[in-house]
Structure 1
Amino acid sequence: MSIYKFARGLVALALFPLYRVKVLGKENIPNNGPVIICSNHISNLDPLIVGITCPRNIYFMAKEELFSNKLLAGLLVRVHAFPIKRGMKDRNALRKGLGILEEGRTLGLFPEGTRSKSGELGQGLAGVGFFASRSEASIVPCAIIGPYKAFQPLKVVYGEPIDMEQLRANKTSAKEVTDSIMEEIKKLIENNRSESPIA
């Protein structure tokens, strides 16, 4: 068993009962080919929650500072994380992300770039639009609906892949593509927030 699968199983064992995680829409995630999971960001635990609820192995970007410790860096690499410099265009990270998609793998992105302290959806950055436009990946929106409180329901909703054909054909700007993706995440949140996760 790989370290990734072992870590994923261990985290799932801890977080599923702790937050009573309810997952909807997993069938919307393609079984094959490149995929970008685009989620809102309300907690530092979001990468773990997406990682254990998505049926595919996911590669995530992590802030470069986390890789300064060799032991931690070694672990992060084994669980499919790679570094990105925050606050600037990191060409190495962009190339790494595109390479992952070219290999037909799954990339997990949080378009807001940082977690929302209010819990409300913030503005998306152009980076996710760059990956969506420069690849042939299926773009799957994801909504994490909290709160992250022990033994209170947490809902994770995966929407249908976004139709990117026209956006790519029109060579729409990365920021506009991001805005379209954020609108789909917003709809998922609005359509599912009022419903009981225990349904």
Structure 2
Amino acid sequence: MSLYPFARSVVAGILKPTYRIKVEGLENFPRDGGVFLCTNHISNYDPPVVGITAPRKVFFMAKAELFKVPILKDLLMNFGTFPVNRGGSDREALRTGLKILKEGNVLGFFPEGTRSKDGELGKGLPGAGFFALRSNAAVVPCAIIGPYKPFKTLRVVYGKPINMDEYREKKITTEEMSGIIMGEIGKLLKK
């Protein structure tokens, strides 16, 4: 039996009242099929916050170093998180991500690759464009609008899926696609 539903309710019971989480745009989130969910990254709390606000289970990739801690590794694996070696092309992580999307699940992704030190939106890495262009998943931008301060409102905004047909037809590069995704996240941050 999966720990996910239980852990999700426990984490929601802690984070939602602490950060007064307000969720917007849930009507934009596809109810079925593969979803490539791309969001900005401002805190270590971002994955659990996305996990408790998204209407479906979200699978994340996380830096491989976290999987070297025995208890943490077991927890991460139980929650559907898989390792990625940062700093290069991790073919196994790419295959795992595509498989998750092909099976009709939700892959949560932080295109910046690391947390923003100043809260500003950084440049997206090509991995975001890779998953968007190589899968048939809906590409959903998401913005986490802070701060993460107790009893201050934290907003999670889900945008409309990006129309991928035109970009696939134009055969744009993964870098260009990542830039488009970051642009959509940026628009949500400015709302």
Is TM-score (shorter-chain normalized) higher than 0.5? yes
Give the secondary-structure state (helix, strand or coil) at the position aligned to 2:71.
helix
**Distance in 1 between the 2:69 and 2:22 partners?**
34
**TM-score (norm: length of structure 2):** 0.98
1:173 Cα deviation after fit: 0.4
**Distance in 2 between the 1:9 and 1:103 partners?**
25
1:168 aligns with 2:183: no
- 1:51-109 Cα shifts (integer Å, max 9, x gaps): 00000100000110111122221111001100000111100000000000110100000
**Distance in 1 between the 2:70 and 2:20 partners?**
34
Question: What residue is the counterpart of 2:51 in the other structure?
Answer: 51
**Distance in 1 between the 2:78 and 2:136 partners?**
26
Give the secondary-structure state (helix, strand or coil) at the position aligned to 1:157.
strand
Partner amino acid, structure 2, of 1:35: V
Partner amino acid, structure 2, of 1:36: F
1:34 aligns with 2:34: yes
**Distance in 1 between the 2:180 and 2:72 partners?**
35
Question: What residue is the counterpart of 2:137 in the other structure?
Answer: 137
**Distance in 2 between the 1:60 and 1:88 partners?**
18
Give the secondary-structure state (helix, strand or coil) at the position aligned to 2:72.
helix
- Superposed, which structure 2 residues align to 1:59-98 within 5 Å? 59-98=59-98
**Distance in 2 between the 1:50 and 1:99 partners?**
21
- Superposed, which structure 2 residues align to 1:176-195 within 5 Å? 176-191=176-191
Question: What residue is the counterpart of 1:121 in the other structure?
Answer: 121
Partner amino acid, structure 1, of 2:156: V
For this pair of structures, how many residues does the alignment match?
191
Give the secondary-structure state (helix, strand or coil) at the position aligned to 2:88.
coil
Partner amino acid, structure 1, of 2:60: F
**Distance in 1 between the 2:75 and 2:16 partners?**
22
1:171 Cα deviation after fit: 1.5
**Distance in 2 between the 1:129 and 1:67 partners?**
25
CA RMSD, aligned part only?
0.8
**Distance in 1 between the 2:190 and 2:59 partners?**
27
Partner amino acid, structure 2, of 1:39: T
Question: What residue is the counterpart of 1:149 in the other structure?
Answer: 149
**Distance in 1 between the 2:55 and 2:73 partners?**
25
1:105 aligns with 2:105: yes
1:21 Cα deviation after fit: 0.3
**TM-score (norm: length of structure 1):** 0.94
1:150 Cα deviation after fit: 0.3
Following TM superposition, the consecutive aligned residue runs of length 4 or more in structure 1 with deviations greater than 6 angstroms are none
- 1:18-51 Cα shifts (integer Å, max 9, x gaps): 0000000011010010001100001010001100
Question: What residue is the counterpart of 1:10 in the other structure?
Answer: 10
**Distance in 2 between the 1:93 and 1:170 partners?**
26
